[in-house]
Copies of this chain bind each other. A is one copy, B any other.
Amino acid sequence: MSSIYGTNLKISIFGQSHSPAIGVNIDGLPAGLKIDFNELQTFLNRRMPGVAAHSTKRKEPDVPEFLSGLVDNGGSADGSNTGITCGSPLAAIIRNTDTRSQDYEQLKDVPRPSHADYTAFVKYGESHDVRGGGSFSGRLTAPLCIAGGICLQLLKQKSIDITAHIYQIANVKDTPFDPVSIGEKEKGILKTADFPVIDKNAGELMLAIIEEAKQAGDSVGGIIECAATGLPAGIGDPMFDGMENRLSAIIFGIPAVKGIEFGNGFSAAELRGSQNNDSFIMSEGKIKTSTNRHGGILGGITSGMPMLFRVAIKPTPSISIEQGSVSLSRKEEVRLAITGRHDPCIVPRAVPCVEAAAAIAIYDALLASAR
């Protein structure tokens, strides 16, 4: 697989940080579905570099060009900026323009600690593309967000919503989602916020911590919480095609993700069954659970309750503080100070990436369950 994900909806991603372009081919989109390009661009802008203080200074417009998969090539008859899928694979690319490859010359010999430079060297040898992290760069989440942004729109057409927020930065925690009921207003605010948190005060503390780390030439990690609401019960499959398997298989495709948990997750370890189980109840004629410690998934299959999961993001490995590394050619230890442009904290920009990845996994599972 490597760059391909999905069973009924398949995405195939390509590109390196400094290749002419990055892009995605999306295979399996049903025909006749409307895509709103403005809405997609608004979504893509949320992960765009260069827009916030806490982000890398690299500037890329990140406007996708659609190469295929649309009726009349995406030109809409009514003048609106929309397109209709035609059933053929939908491919879109983004040109790489603001690339400063010389920044990375030295890294060819000296791998950055906790980056993929060394493991890529072992795997691909001399000819791997080290510039900007090559295909391991966070930049490759842009095509993921194109595919995910489209899936988010298609899910919305089925009244399914996916919203994520910054749950934790360093030791500051945001207010978590209410597991049984996530407010519509809250979702709207989070989706338009520069720094998506529920608790503004916590958000300000987080921003201060990020700024502090930046000044120190350091970086910070965090946790993202994501909720999918409106999902019918019965989606997903047992064993290796459960929703947890499907989601984790794509979420770990986002660079820097080092953990995922569903519902109570790791904290369930400290609970008794009577504290972690969710009683079934009747609510307005429908079967629900009174609590939602299971995070909306039982036996890999959606229960109809909100699907909830959290994703651990490690601190950006690129820091300007000097670190120990080795020279691959000389086989000796050296000191390394990284000078390129980097986010002191990638958690904010990873929020839409998590939403995008979840949307792809959920839409794919929905297509599989339609049969």
Contacts and interface: CB of A to CB of B under 8 A. Distances in A.
Interface string A186-212: 000000000000000000000000000
Interface in A239-267: 239-242, 244-245, 248-250, 252-253, 255, 257-266
A277 to B, nearest CB: 4
Contact of A31 (B66, B127, B295): B127
A168 B114 contact: no
Contact of A260 (B70, B87, B248): B248
A84 interface: yes
A118 B281 CA distance: 12
Give the secondary structure class of A's interface. Answer: mixed
A312 to B, nearest CB: 4
Nearest to A12: B12
Interface in A62-93: 65-71, 73, 84-91, 93
Given A3-B239, A87-B120, A281-B326, 4 more contacts: A2-B89, A2-B237, A114-B276, A266-B310
A128 B31 contact: yes
A252 B244 contact: yes
Nearest to A140: B239
A190 B74 CA distance: 42
Contacts of A86: 16, 124, 127-129, 134-135
B28 A2 contact: yes
Contacts of A264: 258, 314
A43 interface: no
A65 B19 CA distance: 12
A61 interface: no
Interface stretch (A155-163, A176-184, A297-305): A297-305
A115 to B, nearest CB: 7
Contacts of A371: 8, 30, 367-368, 370-371
Closest 6 CB pairs of A and B: A116-B299, A259-B261, A279-B324, A219-B273, A248-B248, A31-B124
Contacts of A8: 8, 368, 371
A68 B269 contact: no
Contact of A136 (B89, B125, B238, B323): B238
A20 B71 CA distance: 11
A233 B118 CA distance: 9
Given A85-B127, A122-B233, A244 B257 contact: yes
B259 A87 contact: no
A23 B91 contact: yes
A326 B287 contact: yes
Given A116-B298, A249-B240, A323-B279, A262 B262 contact: no
Nearest to A309: B259
Given A14-B90, A124-B31, A67 B23 contact: yes
26 contacts: A1-B241, A2-B239, A3-B89, A4-B27, A16-B69, A32-B126, A70-B129, A71-B129, A84-B127, A86-B135, A87-B129, A88-B134, A114-B298, A115-B299, A123-B301, A136-B299, A221-B273, A245-B249, A252-B300, A258-B261, A259-B268, A260-B260, A272-B319, A273-B315, A276-B317, A277-B315
A50 interface: no
A19 to B, nearest CB: 4
Interface string A134-167: 1110001000000000000000000000000000
